[in-house]
Chain A
Amino acid sequence: QKEVEQDPGPLSVPEGAIVSLNCTYSNSAFQYFMWYRQYSRKGPELLMYTYSSGNKEDGRFTAQVDKSSKYISLFIRDSQPSDSATYLCAMSGSGGYNKLIFGAGTRLAVHP
């Protein structure tokens, strides 16, 4: 079993829809949770960074972490065609300068 599980999709939604992306994990030592967006053949771009449980909002993006369920989510409101990309969840343990463990990535397509 992988440490981080993420449905690879693809997920196809109409423009304006609310998108929900999820990851589950097995390692209870994970304390830092991130979401990256990766356009085709480009470097991952950090979207959201959260520590421990709770919600964080940034514009159209909301990240949720439920450590009791070992489940994290990213919501995208009012999705746009420019949001079409692969979304990767990533997590790391406590302390600084740790490696990131990534999910497989979910491919999202937002069609006009």
Chain B
Amino acid sequence: DSGVTQTPKHLITATGQRVTLRCSPRSGDLSVYWYQQSLDQGLQFLIQYYNGEERAKGNILERFSAQQFPDLHSELNLSSLELGDSALYFCASSTRPDRPNEQFFGPGTRLTVL
């Protein structure tokens, strides 16, 4: 158990809908990362937050947005869903200054868009 929690585990929805994925980082971790894992693209970085501020953006679609709240949990919002958005979405967290970029992953949310 990495200490990172994600809810829900599974999500099934229809095209055009909007969903929210939630992540709670390890205790004390200030940085949260979101990744998408699909069969054809592998694990791709989406977006990073550090202590409530957006720090970096990767291959994140405009239909997707995220935020990190004062209690450090983060939410990833996916809207106008398309079939191609079906994937595993992982959250990771990190904080150790002596081991930069050491990231611990949560169990993921499996999104199925029908």
Interface residues of A, Cβ cutoff 8 Å to B: 32, 34, 36, 41-46, 49, 88, 90, 92, 95-105
Contacts of B43 on A, CB cut-off 8 Å?
A: 44, 88, 90, 100, 102, 105
Decide yes or no: A96 and B100 within 8 Å by CB, A101-B45, A102-B43 being known contacts. yes
> Are the CB atoms of A92 and B101 closer together than 8 Å?
yes
**Chain B interface, number of residues (Cβ within 8 angstroms):** 30
CA distance A26 to B82 in the complex (A): 33
B102 nearest in chain A by CB position: A49
CA distance A44 to B104 in the complex (A): 8
Per DSSP, chain A at the interface is loop
Contacts of A32 on B, CB cut-off 8 Å?
A: 100-102
Shortest distance between the CB of B48 and any CB in chain A (Å): 6
B41 nearest in chain A by CB position: A104
Shortest distance between the CB of A57 and any CB in chain B (Å): 17
User: CB within 8 Å of A: which of B20-79?
Assistant: 31, 33, 35, 42-45, 48, 50, 55-56, 58
Per DSSP, chain B at the interface is strand
> Are the CB atoms of B42 and A105 closer together than 8 Å?
yes
Contacts of A45 on B, CB cut-off 8 Å?
A: 2, 105
Shortest distance between the CB of B49 and any CB in chain A (Å): 10
B97 nearest in chain A by CB position: A96
> Are the CB atoms of A97 and B94 closer together than 8 Å?
yes
Decide yes or no: A42 and B108 within 8 Å by CB, A99-B48, A100-B45 being known contacts. yes
Contacts of B99 on A, CB cut-off 8 Å?
A: 49
> Are the CB atoms of B101 and A41 closer together than 8 Å?
no
> Are the CB atoms of A44 and B105 closer together than 8 Å?
yes
Contacts of A104 on B, CB cut-off 8 Å?
A: 42
